[in-house]
Every structure is written in structure tokens, then in C-alpha cells.
Structure 1
């Protein structure tokens, strides 16, 4: 009769059987490269694994958890290491460090109300709540004592801090301005001394970031073998880079997809490979290496690219590789690239982030606005088609003020309606006002708030329409886009009105 890997025994301090983690001794993890450890030794008190060239650890001996809970936690982390990406497994293990600092760390099995109160106190730590729920469900489904369905359902009801992962893309332009792009290209094209291979390496990264927008972990995972040269004849060469995908769910090894690169970048990479193999031997497999020939970590890559950006006169806080990535995504959207193509080029799992680029701050519309705005004829047309005259709030009676709800948000203080008081308007307030001659916008009205609310609601429409397969011919989306442009034009009119008033006062 064989002994199971995970055993149960009666704990001397309790009256119920306690789970004991007894294996497997080595857990296979999802590695991104061939030169990092592929297993985690669970027989040690400190479990260590790697991702992006950085060690990720959990020291069980330092965690103030009850012995029974610690054994169950080991089982869950072993499960997470086999199921999730290395970084995700590390985040999942972090929930036990948070538990160890709480009042219930040694009180397992937990009293339901005490557990719920503790987890609710984590409201600002969204990932911790999500991973704890995942842990609790995992233990519940395996029948471990101390876990029950009623408590799990109560955990599911706990609210977490709302997080929109694409809010920065949607609400602000996070790429490069035109003058910054010019400086960046000049920096990429600069002459580099042939003996300074390290500087050439980071120049290649900057160039590659501009062309393909990879994440730092993708830079880290690139191998020499991922670079492919197709030579038609002595004068014509084509270059392909097999870029490892960073966020593909459920894959044991990163999928690599072919990406065409320019001849200029291809020539640089070919020269770089020749140099590093001359320095470190033909067995040097990473594409980007340190001065000792080791694969660069994601931190070293980020620091190097940030230095290059600063040298180019671009210094934006907390944005390095993602700055170039957002710039590429927004640039593709501005040129009319479909969302599914953007998603494919950037390696997204869905088209939702690509839609954020498409609808974020419509540069095409803004460019057209600015170009047409210089035309006096266009200005007269806009004035006749849009709202009535811009007015001051103090000159309007409260009964005439326009109020309404956009994206479940109440919005007032935007303008006044010229219809007789108590007359019912047949159109939807706020939505229809910015294309109505009866609407008189306040010079200092909250028009920016209206535009932001419309943009958020538009993104929600896009998400719904995408699931329904009705994205290309969607009238509400077209109507919202027209309204957003009308609000933008009103904002410019109000700014000009305030400027004229200031000039008259002088």
C-alpha cells in the first residue's frame, strides 16, 4: 500500500486532522528562458524562483502563521507555481505575508466574522483580496478542514478598490509629442563609436521599442536565435525578430511571433550579435547581455532605456518601455488601424486595450479640428451648427440651468437652456445640448467633466458591442463621437470667450 504525497495526521493541539504538505519535492515552473532554473525545491525553508532575471522568494520560517495554515499555504503556492506565470505565483504567495501581519495569523481555523473583518480591511489592496479568495476556494474544493462554503460566499461579496487597467490610456495621451518623437529619432540615428558595444546595445533597445513596443520582460527573453536574416542576394536582406509574447494565458513556454523590422535596425542587431559572440563566445545565447555576458535583468533593461530616453531629452516619470509601447499603440490607432490588428501587433489577449487606444483621445479628430479651425468659414459653420452664445453663470436664473446624468454621474453647471421655463425638452439633456442652438454654455462651465464622462461611456459601449459583434456599424458610438467633438469645440469657444473678456478688461 503506497503512501500519498499529501498526508493527514491528527494534530496534538487540535481535534481535527491537519493537512501536511509533503511534495512534490520539485515543482516545475513556467520559465521564459532556457538559462534560468526550471524547478522550485519545496524541501527548503526558502522557496526561490526567477523571472526577468530577478529572484522571487518566500521564506516560510519568517511567516508568523499557525502550523496547520502554513502547510495548507505551501500546498497552494506549489499549485500556483505550476499553474500561473512566475510573477503571478509570487503575487499569490504575497497574500500569506499579509496574513502573517494580521490579527488572525495564528488563529486558524478562523471565526467567520473575524476573517471577513480582516479581509475587508484590505480594501485598498485589490490583488491581496483576489488572491486570498482564490486560495480559500482552492482549499475549500479540496475539502480541507477550516474552510466552508458560507464563508467563501461572504468573501465573494467583499468589494475591492475599482481598477481600470486602461484608464491612463483612455483619459490621457500617454505617448510622445511630435517634438519628442523627432528628438527620439535623432538620438536613435546618431553615430556610435564601433568600440562602444554597450551603448550600441541600448540604442538597439530604444530603436526596437520604437518599432515594436515590447515590454521589458520581452526584451529580457529575447535570444540570439530569435533574430532571423533572409538574404535574397548580396544586396538585399530582410530581417525578422521572433518576439516572445509576454501575456499569453495558459502557455508553459512563451509563444514567439515573427515581427518584421527595418533594415537599419536589422543591420544594428546583426552587428551587435557578432560583437557579443566575439566577446563571450558562440555559446552566448541571450540577445541583450551585461558586461559579464549574463542576460540583462528587467531592472537593468529599464534603467538603460530610461537613460537613453533622458539623453534624447525625454523625461517622463514612471514610464519607460510602456511609454514607447503606448506611443506605438496610439500611433497605430491614429492612422486608422483596426483594434484587432493593434491587439495582434502588441500581443494583447483581447481587443479591449486596443479599443482604449482607438477611443482614448482621438488625435485624428483633433488634427482635423485644428486644421479646419484656422478657416473662418469653418468657424462660422461651427457657430451656426453648435450651441447658442456663450454666457456667464451669474446672468442666468437657476430655473434655466441644464443638469443631467452621463455614465451614472450627475453633472450640472454647464449652461442654460433658452426654452421657456418649465418647457419639457424632447431630447436627452446634456447629450443633445452641445449640438442645440437653444443651449447657452457657461464660459466657466464643467465641460471637461462632460467630455470625460462621455469618453468613459463610449468605452463601455465599445466593450458591449465587441461581445455582440456589432462594432463597425454602431450608431450610438458614432453619435457619442460626434457629441465629444461638439463638446471639444465648445470648450475651445469658452476658452476664447474668457480670453476676449480678459483682453477687453485690459
Structure 2
């Protein structure tokens, strides 16, 4: 693909042989569908490739590189286009554009102090820094003169201001609230006229997003042949969608994995496929198409899905298909689904995101606690089924005070026990107290401290159970969640008691 023009020692003005790009005229790229270009023409001043129905480019005339660095960059991009996914190739193209705007773009004799300044600029964008680092490593691996290992180590040690991509899952709940889910299901289930073809198509997109939560690129990549059904002897139909995986490393074409869908969605897709073939003929491959029979781009799918969510009364900034993915992932985690199964269902390369959903389950519990704690009906239930009346610490003899250990932390001053002083309770103190009628919580007791300790301990149970693959039917975790709810209800009762007359008597 490339070569050096001369292997002899260069002149003082050029300390290494001139590098020349001799790439193929056409570079084969990875494609998701059969109806997009499969090659990039390297003879053109602007290289163009496609993914998701969108064009991606690198304009070499716009880059302020020296002729030699330009040749090296073209060789690198030809390698990238052949090896990586199209969107990753665009990331590398963007990093070259960022590099071309720096003071080292017109020479390969990079001064170390100047390089450090440039790295400070590049690390503002994680993608720019990663792209430059990969570019430099690629050049070293090929023995291109002007690139050395010492400089690479400096680049490698430079860290970007990286933000964890799953931080928003850990820190906040970005799925659907219960009332939003109800509105969404009503939107999915509404009756539509057979003449409203666009509405019918995006109703299917919304329905599919709720059931399987594909990414926009997966919606885009779906073909009619990815949908299939079988009919049993008793005329029952079972529907399957072979969903293309969006982010599987090292694959030339996306792998497709079977996903069962509901009968209702399957029937919708069956009618939709028949309508497409009637309108555009059997040569039309795409499952979701425009009025001209062209495959919908990821932007068109995103806009249509956003419109459907808005019509359902769901408006969350910058979240469309990812909102439904977070909702499905968090819902699975809340039901005790193991991280590896969540990763498989969502098509992740690793269980990192799935562990984020699992870790977030105590946050879900806190949301439920807050809602339940303010519910009058729930308060009446808690008063009748859980603890005794709220009391003042000063009115209790010290012998009746309850103390215990949670999460290796000693906790006292939470309440009093109504059992006779010298009676041995068969249950674990503190853990069992908040669901016991003999427990009289102190109005100013350390209940928040108890809840925090229980949540930490529950999270440790989640981590250990996830590692052992035994998160389903985890009784200790379920007991902790029940106790946490009871503690939260007690906190609310104590707050109401301190604010006004108590009805606990």
C-alpha cells in the first residue's frame, strides 16, 4: 500500500526518506446492508463512505499537512477504512482534521515540548486523542521513519478528560416512569387507519423499540428477510426477528441474532411487509423505507421515533432510542436478570453497561420508597403491619433501646423494643425491627443511617450474586429491599410525627 521513495540516508534538511502513498484505487469497507456503496475511491480529493444512510467524508485538500504527512495519513485512513466500522473510521478522520490544525501538521520533526502543548489541545476531546494515539502506533508498527517509541510512550501516557459513558446510568434513572410507560403502551395499542402508512410504520418502530430496544442503526439495517414466522400444526404463529448486532468488534458484516417478538407485533410487521412489497415490489430489501421505497436513514428513524414519543407525552432531552434501551435494561435489572443476559439481549460487547443497570437498582428502590412514603394508603398499611407507634427517646428506658450491626457498622439509637427487658428476641436486631410490631421507632432516631447501611450491604449482595451468576431468586437481596422500604416508611412517619399531631396511637 505504501513505500519509501529512497532507502538511502537523506539530506540534513530531510532526515528520513520521503514517504509515498501507493494505496489501492478502491478500498473495500465494512457494510451493514446490500444497498450502500462497498468501496471508497482513493483517487478522489474527497474520500466518501456511508453508514446508516449517511455520508461520511475526509477532504484531503482541507487538511494543512506537509506532503509527506499527507501521504502517511492517506495510508493510515486506507487501513482504517478496511479494518474498522465506518463510524469509527469517521472518528479517525476527525482526529486527523484536528491534528492538521496544530503546529506539528507541517513536519515530522516534532519537538517534544511542542508535542506536549499539542497533546494538551488534543486531550480536550477523547476521540481526537485516541485517534492520534492509534495513528502514531500504526506508523511505528510499520517502521515509518520519523515515528519513535519514546514519543509514543509520551502520547500513550497522556490521558483525556474522559467521562464514563455509563455514568448517567449509575447516577440517574433515564428510563420511563410508570405513567409514561402507560401512555407509551396506549400509543402503541391505538387503532390506525390502513391508509395512514407512515403512521403505521412508525407505530411498528415504536412497538419494536419498546420490546427489543434496538439502536437506530439496527432499525436502519433491518431487512424484510430478517423477519420470519412459523405456524404450528394447530395454526399458532410464532414470530422471530433476526436483529443485526450494531457493535460487534471485528466483523465484516453485522451478525444477526434471533429475537422472539409478540404475536401482536409480528402481525403488524406481516401486514407491513405485504404493503411494502405491494408498493415497491419484491426487490425492496429494507424493512423500514421512505415513501420512495428507499431505506430510512438513522436520522429519519430517530426523528420519527422522537415524534412518536412526543405524541405519547414523553419528552426527555437528547434521548430517543437510547431512552427505550435504558428502560429495557433497567427493567431487566430490576427483575433480577443477570448482567450477562442483559448484555446479550441489548447486544453489548461486555457486561459493563449491564452492571451499571444492576448497580442502579437501589436507586430505583429509592424512587419507589419516596413515592410510597408519601402515599396515605401506604402509610396506613405500614402503621398496621410493620412497627409500633413512634416514641420519644427521652420517654424510653435505656434497657429497651435497640442496637445492632449493619454492613460492619455499629448502629444504635433507632428505637425501643416492647418485649420484656430480659426476653431474648429470636430475630436479627435492626434488620428485623422495621417489620416488627414490637418496635417503637424514635422520632429522632438514626433511621437514615440504617437505610444507607442497608443499601450498601444490598449493593454488595448484588455485586457478589452477579459474579456468581445467581442474581435470580436472590432471597437476601429481596429481604433487604423489603426492609429498606420499611425503613423509608418509618422515616416518613417520624417526619410527620415531628411536624404535627400523630395518629399512631
Give the match's secondary structure for 2:361.
coil
Paired position in structure 2 for 1:209: 209
Question: What's the offset of the Cα at 1:336?
Answer: 2.0
Deviation per CA, 1:107-155: give whole Å up to 9, x if none.
4321122112211233331121122111111111211122111111111
Deviation per CA, 1:24-57: give whole Å up to 9, x if none.
2211111000110111111111111001000000
Structure showing greater radius of gyration is 2
Query: Cα 1:45–1:452, aligned 2, differ >3 Å: closer, same or farther?
Result: farther
Note the aligned Cα RMSD (angstroms): 4.0
- Structure 2 segments unaligned to the other structure (5+ residues): 395-400, 416-429, 431-441
Q: d(CA) in 2 for partners of 1:111 and 1:448? A: 59
Paired position in structure 2 for 1:300: 300
Q: d(CA) in 2 for partners of 1:288 and 1:76? A: 35
Question: What's the offset of the Cα at 1:500?
Answer: 5.5
Give the match's secondary structure for 2:30.
coil
Q: How does 1:15-414 map to 2 (within 5 A)?
A: 15-233=15-233, 235-362=235-362, 363=364, 370=372, 374-376=381-383, 380=387
Paired position in structure 2 for 1:432: 409
Deviation per CA, 1:367-397: give whole Å up to 9, x if none.
589498641266537989xxx979xxxxxxx
TM-score by length of 2: 0.79
Aligned length, in residue pairs: 458
Paired position in structure 2 for 1:410: none
Query: Cα 1:159–1:378, aligned 2, differ >3 Å: closer, same or farther?
Result: farther
Which shifted more, 96-105 or 134-143?
Answer: 96-105
- The answer on whether the counterparts of 1:455 and 1:484 sit within 8 Å (CA) in structure 2 is no
Q: d(CA) in 2 for partners of 1:427 and 1:7? A: 71
- The answer on whether the counterparts of 1:434 and 1:487 sit within 8 Å (CA) in structure 2 is no
Give the match's secondary structure for 1:47.
strand
Which shifted more, 437-446 or 195-204?
Answer: 437-446
- The answer on whether the counterparts of 1:173 and 1:361 sit within 8 Å (CA) in structure 2 is no
Question: What's the offset of the Cα at 1:81?
Answer: 1.2
Q: d(CA) in 2 for partners of 1:338 and 1:435? A: 35
Query: Cα 1:119–1:437, aligned 2, differ >3 Å: closer, same or farther?
Result: same
- The answer on whether the counterparts of 2:413 and 2:446 sit within 8 Å (CA) in structure 1 is no
Query: Cα 1:287–1:163, aligned 2, differ >3 Å: closer, same or farther?
Result: same
Which shifted more, 365-374 or 115-124?
Answer: 365-374
- The answer on whether the counterparts of 1:372 and 1:378 sit within 8 Å (CA) in structure 2 is no
Question: What's the offset of the Cα at 1:366?
Answer: 6.5
Question: What's the offset of the Cα at 1:342?
Answer: 1.6
Give the match's secondary structure for 1:375.
helix
Q: d(CA) in 1 for partners of 2:83 and 2:343? A: 25
- The answer on whether the counterparts of 2:382 and 2:486 sit within 8 Å (CA) in structure 1 is no
